[in-house]
Amino acid sequence: MIAFASPWVLAAFVVLPAIWWLLRLTPPRPQTEVFPPLKILARLIRKDETPDKSPWWLTVLRLLLASLLILALARPVLNPQAETVVADGPQAILIDNSWVTVADWESRLATARSLIEAAGDRDAPVILAFSAMASNTDIGPFDATTALEKLDAATPQPVAGDRNIAFTRILAVLSETKGANLALLSDGLAGGLLPVPKDVFSNVVFYTPANRAALALIGSVNGADALNVTATRDPARVAPEIFILSAFDARSRPIGSAELSFAAGEETADAKFELPFEIRNDIATVSIDGIATAGAIQLYDAGAGRRRVGLITGTTNEGAQPLLAPLYYIREALAPFADLVEPQAENLDATITAVLEDRPSVLVLADVGVISGASRAKLQDWVNKGGALVRFAGPRLAAAEPIVDDPLLPVVLRTGERALDGVLSWGEPQPIAAFPDTGPFAGLPAPRDVTVRRQVLADPSLLNSERTWASLEDGTPLVTGTRVERGVVVLFHVSPDATWSNLPISGTFVEMLRRVVQLASSNPSTAKTNTTALPPLRTLNADGRLIQPPATAEPAEPATAISFLHPPGLYGVAEAFTARNLFQPQTRFTPFTLGDDWNNVTQAAYITAEERDLRGPLFGLALGLIALDAMAVLWMAGALSQLRRRFVSAAAIFLAAAIIMPLHDASADQVSEADAIDAISQTRMAYVETGNAAIDDVTKAGIEGLNMFIASRTALEPGAPKAVDPAIDELAFYPVIYWPIDPDAAMPSDAALSKIDTYMKDGGTVLFDTRDELLSGFDPASASPATLRLREILAGMNVPALEPVPDDHVLTKAFFILQDFPGRYRGGPLWVEANAKTEADPARPVRALDGVTPIMITGNDLAAAWAADAFGEPLYATVPNDPDQRLFAYRAGVNIMMYALTGNYKSDQVHVPALLERLGQ
Amino acid sequence: MASIGDIASRSSGGELLARARARAALLPDLLVEAQRIANIITQGLHGRKRRGIGEEFWQYRPYSEGETVARIDWRRSARDEHVYVRDLEWQAAHTVWLWADPSASMLYQSRQATISKESRALVIVLALAEILSRSGERIAYPQVFAPTSSRQGAERLAASLFSTEALAPSPDLNSISRHSECVYVSDFLDPVDEIIEKLEPMAGRAVRMHLVEVTDPAEENFPYSGRTEFVDPESGSKLTAGRADTLAAEYRQLYVARREELNRFAKSRGWSYTTTKTDGLASSALVQLFGALSAGSQL
């Protein structure tokens, strides 16, 4: 809903055609020239051509811009609020904060806020009252600020509220005033107002909710086979509706769900929770899914739950032979859904007294014949208050002297039992006839396998067929029962054990007992005792959640109506509480209307959305279009292409970097599985590529040549040399890395150096070859470029102290016995990690050392000496050209490789004698 | 202000032929180089100044083993102790395809030019036809004139050209036979890529192209200034330049770059590329073309 505060500005739209015409103005007509190479020219002109006409889209853009500006100047307003006529007097506001208002409370607040702000604008006092509030709540008059604070503090209450109280209080405040304004923010549900004294209100605004959505659960009946929940809805909701009800136990775990289906036009509907009895007993709350109000929830107390059943037997052999004990089958049948009480006392009277102190709902008397007078009175009183007395026959009851109109028996019994089966009987054991449709056993299938051999008989002349709940096929009653005041008395005409019939061991027995127990009220003896007020335990809030009771909640007597002071919820103590629900089963919702005696009434609707001034967004949009227009103009002038070109190249660089970087990182950090398997499947020497193809080729050929030599002389057959880049490749796979130093190559990166450092620390050996023996001068201070570069490289690593290979170093004896380590050149020393100088021990010609030197440095250009072509012919002449020198170079390579692979193996004492012999010592 | 350039009417036959004759008269008979041609044709044979298949004596040379004995010249061999083989001069004739671009852009003539580009193109083509016919070569014109050897080649070509209505704007190059020469006269104002794409297959078919670019001085110098609307005579599309003079330097650069690119392309294929301006003389271009056509003979 959009309205304009200054609609006359919209007349400016008539100038749009003029703007259009202006925008379409064309520059002077150009000189026309025929020009065949137009295609070449076109490549130029695209850049700085000024079109003779503005492109249509630019015209549209600018017209849109103009339109937006006109619209914005007309001050459009979204969701305009109806201006209501107000009098100058105070503003009274009566807000219904009942349970219905939870859903649209914000809109009520917004409405009230706008009313208060309007009152504040004209400096009128505000009286703010709520239908559900404590009677001592201050209702004003307030100034607008205070009223707003009060308003913000208000919340919906889980009760229906009472407008009359609030309205009376408003009238009391306004008794002396005339010309007041009244705003009724109603919830739409009936609950009338008092007649208005004349002239108090000169202006009444009556707000009703746009959609009346009241929906509530109003009651439930825990029937024999299902929990029946009744719901009602506002009569305004006539369409058929379906809701899902969910049942929860005391710990809010979902137990079951049922469908609540309102037929079209129906005000009420029922939902059935068809759950097993035991599970139904656990239901603590039932609520409508997705509707969070205090009305959409039904609370249950123990009244719907398990019954307490007292068991008393007349026999004394309980426990000795459990399967023959009279109560055994009853106990087994009732235990799943009832709390059993079996007091043990010295005699029957004491037992009955003890049982009744436990306040059972049901009392089972198994084969109890004679009940003394005192106990009889107690029992009768208990039954009258709602107890269910269930008696079973047996020899004692059969033998008891019948009492006329015994209130503790449903029928008058004949003395003695009837035996249907036995040597002196003609009769056959009788099966059970179908259960009558009216009794508590209605609907149970009659068991075909149950036969009764013995029973007690009712006096047929006094037998009332209504009291016969079950009978045998010959018509004699099997179960009789009757209501006695609020209680019920039931008699099973058979014994509770399996001697008279096999009924107690059939499944039907369990069902029958269950139904009988359900007949009893939950707590017959609490009805009288619970007349005192119970403190609130947990109360519902307006959202339908059980919370700690608010400070305003007061203890409630059972008869007290639900009100603000007595919100719905659980009252009592945690062990025994009563559920108080918001509604009575007869509750119906009727719409709220004002009486005929109300004058000056204006109907109004709640504010559903805030009033919004649209000028800001429109001006913003116009600004955006101006920016767009500027961009378009720049673009057409060709100024953007320059920028764009730069942007594109920059973007391309970024993109390329973004693509390359991850690739690079990935290859640096991760070795593909195939590569790794390939690298470690063979022992091989690696070499560092200098980037100088001449050097790298020599290195590769050299290692290949050495490999041939190693393979022919030793058990080792090294794999093809592998070129590595220490910055990228994983080095751990290689025992020796040969690194020819090329002074012209780029300095390795810090990352590469740190990787090499790690490799050396972790046991790898790097063989640096400066290849500069020939260049090394006589002055030890002068250094070749390669040596300088090597120093640079080593400066970035943790290099141990070095020494030329001493005579007793393992390296000299690792495979061949060598005095020096020549390469293409001879004379340069091989530097290795220095070891602590040990006393020269003639018995130990080889120093026992742990580990392998991480670093070897030579200048003899080993690779060039090793380098051989595919036929094994050497590629480079040695300096001096001495075939032996090449042989020694190969041997040096073998020793280095063996040393790297076997470590100090050769220094082991085991080999000393042989070595001594070889050394001639 | 009068415009710088204009569209000329199409040229008529007689006048052009006369002009072509005059140009052709300035050139000697043309000896068209024929590379890699082995097939002998009865007419238009001329010695290739090298050993090959022909009828004229070229040289004696000593017999080398393996050659067929039938080729031994016994008369010459009898004169001394060596055995000689008689070599013949390689003789071949060639077909030269001619093409002048008939598109609308060729009709352009600026005030600085003496004739339209189309007129210049036709003069060059007819002059070549005259020269080639005189020297016994076969000439052809795609779509108009199948390969023919005739003394009156130029007249017949002119007659056929001017009686053919509506020539296709670009020739059907597929009709050009393999291993022939093709003189292609145009203003080459289409995008270079398109031109190259069109001509590229000719290299594969071993056709030696001779590209002749006819250009109008106004196209090359771009003497325009001020607010100018340029109209393409072929497509009719228009472009407006706010200040044409500011474009001149860049335009010239592009124009020359196009020519150089075409030139490079032609050179890379072993083709010739000749430029003629309509404010200059056709003869200079003809001399160049003549040189290009006979270039192979020096090999």
Segment A423-478, tens digit of pLDDT = 777 778 888 888 888 778 877 888 888 888 888 888 877 777 788 888 888 888 88
Q: Could you give the CA distance from residue A420 to residue A368 in angstroms, rounded to a whole number?
A: 22
Distance linking the first and last C-alpha atoms of chain B: 55
ipTM value, please give it: 0.72
A558 neighbors A531 (Cβ within 8 angstroms): yes
Instruction: State mean pLDDT over A86-94.
Output: 79
Instruction: State mean pLDDT over A810-814.
Output: 82
pLDDT score for A667: 44
Distance linking the first and last C-alpha atoms of chain A: 114
Length in residues, chain B:
299
Choice between A813 and B49, residue whose per-residue pLDDT is larger: A813
- CA distances A659 to A645, A763, B150, B261, Å, are 21, 35, 68, 35
Which residues in B lie closer than 8 A to residue A35 (C-beta atoms)?
5, 219, 230-233
Which residues in B lie closer than 8 A to residue A48 (C-beta atoms)?
242, 246
CA-CA-CA-CA torsion for B62, B68, B70, B72, nearest 10 degrees?
0
* Inter-axis angle of helices A105-121 and A144-153, nearest 10: 170
Burial of A36 (0-12, 13-18, 19+ CB in 10 A): buried
Q: Could you give the CA distance from residue A666 to residue A660 in angstroms, rounded to a whole number?
A: 10
Instruction: State mean pLDDT over B101-130.
Output: 84
Task: Establish if B240 touches chain A: CB-CB under 8 angstroms.
Answer: yes
Does B227 sit within 8 Å of A27, measured CB to CB? yes
Q: Which two tokens stand for residue A281?
A: 């007993």
Does B242 sit within 8 Å of A49, measured CB to CB? yes
Q: Which two tokens stand for residue A828?
A: 């340069």
A914 neighbors A846 (Cβ within 8 angstroms): no
pLDDT score for B260: 92
Q: Could you give the CA distance from residue A116 to residue A149 in angstroms, rounded to a whole number?
A: 11
pLDDT score for A306: 59
Chain A residue with CA closest to B229: the answer is A32
Q: Which two tokens stand for residue A353?
A: 């007294």
Q: Could you give the CA distance from residue A309 to residue B74 in angstroms, rounded to a whole number?
A: 148
Which residues in B lie closer than 8 A to residue A50 (C-beta atoms)?
240, 242
Position A691 pLDDT exceeds 80: yes
Count how many pairs of residues, chain A against chain B, have C-beta atoms within 8 Å. 97
Quote the radius of gyration of chain A (alpha carbons, Å). 53
Instruction: State mean pLDDT over A777-797.
Output: 73
Only one residue has tokens 């102290």, namely: A801
Which residues in B lie closer than 8 A to residue A54 (C-beta atoms)?
none
With cut-offs at 50, 70 and 90, classify the pLDDT of residue A782: low
Chain A residue with CA closest to B256: the answer is A40
B178 neighbors B207 (Cβ within 8 angstroms): yes
Which residues in B lie closer than 8 A to residue A52 (C-beta atoms)?
240
Q: How far is B245 from chain A (nearest CA, A)?
A: 12
**pLDDT, tens digit, 9 for 90 and up, residues A349-384:** 888 888 888 778 888 888 887 777 788 888 888 888
**pLDDT, tens digit, 9 for 90 and up, residues A250-291:** 888 888 888 888 888 888 888 888 887 667 777 888 888 888
pLDDT score for A664: 44
E strands present in B101-197 = 108-110, 138-141, 145-148, 181-186
Does A45 sit within 8 Å of B108, measured CB to CB? no
pLDDT score for A526: 42
DSSP assignments along A657-677, one per residue: HHHHHHHHHHHHH---HHHHH
**pLDDT, tens digit, 9 for 90 and up, residues A568-599:** 888 877 766 778 888 877 788 888 877 777 77
Task: Establish if A448 touches chain B: CB-CB under 8 angstroms.
Answer: no
Instruction: State mean pLDDT over A190-214.
Output: 75
Instruction: State mean pLDDT over B91-101.
Output: 77
Position A314 pLDDT exceeds 80: no
In this prediction, what percent of chain A has a pLDDT beyond 90? 1
DSSP assignments along A619-660, one per residue: HHHHHHHHHHHHHHHHHHTTHHHHHHHHHHHHHHHHHHHHHH
Select the residue of A36, A39, A45 nearest B191 (Cβ to Cβ).
A39
**pLDDT, tens digit, 9 for 90 and up, residues B123-141:** 888 888 877 777 777 788 8
pLDDT score for A53: 59
Which residues in A lie closer than 8 A to residue B106 (C-beta atoms)?
36
Instruction: State mean pLDDT over B58-71.
Output: 84
Does A41 sit within 8 Å of B247, measured CB to CB? yes
Coil vs helix vs strand at A364: strand
**pLDDT, tens digit, 9 for 90 and up, residues A221-249:** 776 677 888 888 888 888 888 888 888 88
Does B242 sit within 8 Å of A31, measured CB to CB? no
Q: How far is B119 from chain A (nearest CA, A)?
A: 16
With cut-offs at 50, 70 and 90, classify the pLDDT of residue A198: low
Sequence-separated (6 or more) residues with CB below 8 Å from residue B202 = B173, B176, B182, B209
pLDDT score for A657: 56
Q: Could you give the CA distance from residue A494 to residue A479 in angstroms, rounded to a whole number?
A: 8
Q: Which two tokens stand for residue A320?
A: 């000795």
pLDDT score for B90: 61
In this prediction, what percent of chain A has a pLDDT beyond 70? 85
Instruction: State mean pLDDT over A25-50.
Output: 70
- Of A301-305, A758-762, A916-920, B2-6, where does the model show the most confidence? A758-762
Q: Could you give the CA distance from residue A739 to residue A856 in angstroms, rounded to a whole number?
A: 10
Instruction: State mean pLDDT over A881-895.
Output: 87
Q: Which two tokens stand for residue A431?
A: 């099966």
Task: Establish if B1 touches chain A: CB-CB under 8 angstroms.
Answer: yes
Quote the radius of gyration of chain B (alpha carbons, Å). 23
Taking the CA atoms of B231, B237, B243 and B244 in sequence, report the sign of the dihedral they define: negative
Taking the CA atoms of A816, A819, A825 and A829 in sequence, report the sign of the dihedral they define: positive
Choice between A876 and B83, residue whose per-residue pLDDT is larger: B83
pLDDT score for A572: 78
Instruction: State mean pLDDT over A814-830.
Output: 84
Task: Establish if B281 touches chain A: CB-CB under 8 angstroms.
Answer: no
Task: Establish if A27 touches chain B: CB-CB under 8 angstroms.
Answer: yes
Does A39 sit within 8 Å of B240, measured CB to CB? no
CA A777: distance to chain centroid?
78
Does A33 sit within 8 Å of B189, measured CB to CB? no
Does B219 sit within 8 Å of A45, measured CB to CB? no
Q: Which of B134, B112, B154 is nearest to B27 (CA)?
A: B134
Q: Which of A737, A855, A739 is nearest to A797 (CA)?
A: A855
**pLDDT, tens digit, 9 for 90 and up, residues B146-184:** 777 777 777 788 777 777 766 777 777 777 777 788 889
Q: At A511, which amino acid appears?
A: E
- φ, ψ dihedrals at B97, nearest 5°: -90, 140
Q: Could you give the CA distance from residue A795 to residue A63 in angstroms, rounded to a whole number?
A: 72
pLDDT score for B31: 36
B263 neighbors B271 (Cβ within 8 angstroms): no
Does A33 sit within 8 Å of B231, measured CB to CB? yes
Which residues in B lie closer than 8 A to residue A44 (C-beta atoms)?
247, 250-251, 254
A245 neighbors A275 (Cβ within 8 angstroms): no
Does A42 sit within 8 Å of B6, measured CB to CB? no
Q: Is the pTM of this model over 0.90?
A: no
Q: How far is B99 from chain A (nearest CA, A)?
A: 19
pLDDT score for A799: 79
With cut-offs at 50, 70 and 90, classify the pLDDT of residue A413: confident
Q: Could you give the CA distance from residue B35 to residue B52 in angstroms, rounded to a whole number?
A: 12
DSSP assignments along B77-97, one per residue: HTTSSS-EEEEEEEEE--EEE
Task: Establish if A28 touches chain B: CB-CB under 8 angstroms.
Answer: yes
Task: Establish if A26 touches chain B: CB-CB under 8 angstroms.
Answer: no
Q: Which two tokens stand for residue A105?
A: 């409370």
Q: How far is B246 from chain A (nearest CA, A)?
A: 10
Choice between A414 and A619, residue whose per-residue pLDDT is larger: A619
Does B242 sit within 8 Å of A39, measured CB to CB? no
Sequence-separated (6 or more) residues with CB below 8 Å from residue A426 = none
Task: Give me the residues of B, 64-123, that contact A with CB < 8 A.
Answer: 105-106, 108
Chain A residue with CA closest to B227: the answer is A30
Does B239 sit within 8 Å of A38, measured CB to CB? yes
Q: Which of A16, A111, A114, A31 is nearest to A65 (CA)?
A: A16
Burial of A131 (0-12, 13-18, 19+ CB in 10 A): buried
pLDDT score for B165: 67
pLDDT score for A883: 79
With cut-offs at 50, 70 and 90, classify the pLDDT of residue A837: low
pLDDT score for B41: 29
Position B192 pLDDT exceeds 50: yes
**pLDDT, tens digit, 9 for 90 and up, residues B245-290:** 788 888 888 899 999 999 999 999 888 899 988 888 877 787 788 7
**pLDDT, tens digit, 9 for 90 and up, residues B202-252:** 888 888 888 999 999 988 888 887 778 888 888 888 888 777 778 888 888
Task: Give me the residues of B, 116-155, that contact A with CB < 8 A.
Answer: none
Does A33 sit within 8 Å of B4, measured CB to CB? yes
Only one residue has tokens 């200034």, namely: B225
Q: Could you give the CA distance from residue A866 to residue A869 in angstroms, rounded to a whole number?
A: 10
pLDDT score for A903: 77
Chain A residue with CA closest to B216: the answer is A36
Cis preceding linkage at B171, omega within 30: no
For chain A, what is the mean pLDDT? 79
Q: How far is B112 from chain A (nearest CA, A)?
A: 14
With cut-offs at 50, 70 and 90, classify the pLDDT of residue A94: confident
Does B219 sit within 8 Å of A36, measured CB to CB? yes
Q: Which two tokens stand for residue A337?
A: 């859904």
Sequence-separated (6 or more) residues with CB below 8 Å from residue A566 = A536, A553, A554, A556, A560, A580
A886 neighbors A874 (Cβ within 8 angstroms): yes
Q: Could you give the CA distance from residue B74 to residue A152 in angstroms, rounded to a whole number?
A: 134
Instruction: State mean pLDDT over A670-684.
Output: 77
**Residue B203's CB: how many other CB atoms inside 10 A?**
16
For chain B, what is the mean pLDDT? 77
